[in-house]
């Protein structure tokens, strides 16, 4: 499934894909808020979230979710599994004040597992930054998950600073170190969490 918000012409959305059913298999999803083309810009092709999974026992193989302006993915369902996640945070954030999850929390996590989730497994999850507006923009973390998940719920997470200004300060929650201009093109990894 392919979703494109803007790029060919102007377009807007709040959420691109919402899964409300249990036992759903998502295979090769690319949800993309366009970063180039016609009708592209922070206020031109607005889109909050790419994918929201509300159902339990969902499995995703190959989630590609890019450039959304808030969370890229919100996983609310219990007993979910994601195998492979590729993400680029929005390139065109005009200021840090325009991109804050909460007061004192810079940016938005690329992948948010809801606080109410008790069981989730993730394998091979990556998020990249290229904030290209010439100002330092930071995301506090790329992945935000409950610390109460069973040990070893997440496997092989990474962040990478591609170019631009600012970067990602932690891989998952407050763990993993930063991916900024100090270590460009270098994966910052967390092998297992929590």
Enumerate residues 6+ apart whose C-beta is below 8 A from 104: none
Active site positions, annotated = 88
Distance CA 74, CA 125 (A): 14
Burial 82-119 (b: 16+ CB within 10 A, else e): bebbbbbbbbbbeeeeebebeeeebbbbbbbbbeebeb
Q: Is 155 helix (H, G, I), strand (E, B) or coil?
A: strand
Instruction: Characterise 67 by phi-psi region: left (phi > 0), alpha (psi -120 to 50), beta (else).
Output: left
Distance CA 83, CA 163 (A): 26
- Contact in structure between 179 and 159 (CB atoms under 8 Å): yes
């Amino acid at each position: 499934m392919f979703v494109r918000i803007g790029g060919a012409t102007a377009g807007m959305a709040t959420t691109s894909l919402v899964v409300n059913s249990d036992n759903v298999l998502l295979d090769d999803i690319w949800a993309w808020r366009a970063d180039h083309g016609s009708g592209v810009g922070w206020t031109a092709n607005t889109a909050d979230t790419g994918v929201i999974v509300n159902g339990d026992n969902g499995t995703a193989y190959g989630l590609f979710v890019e450039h959304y302006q808030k969370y890229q993915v919100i996983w609310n369902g219990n007993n979910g599994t994601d195998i492979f996640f590729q993400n680029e945070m929005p390139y065109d954030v005009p200021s840090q004040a325009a991109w804050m999850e909460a007061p004192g929390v810079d940016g938005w996590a690329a992948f948010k597992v809801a606080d109410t989730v008790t069981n989730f497994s993730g394998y091979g999850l990556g998020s990249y930054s290229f904030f290209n507006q010439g100002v330092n923009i930071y995301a506090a973390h790329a992945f935000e998950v409950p610390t109460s998940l069973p040990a070893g719920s997440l496997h092989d997470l990474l962040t990478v600073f591609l170019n631009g200004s600012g970067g990602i300060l932690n891989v998952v929650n407050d763990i993993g170190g930063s991916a900024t201009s100090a270590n460009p093109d270098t994966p910052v990894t967390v092998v297992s969490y929590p």
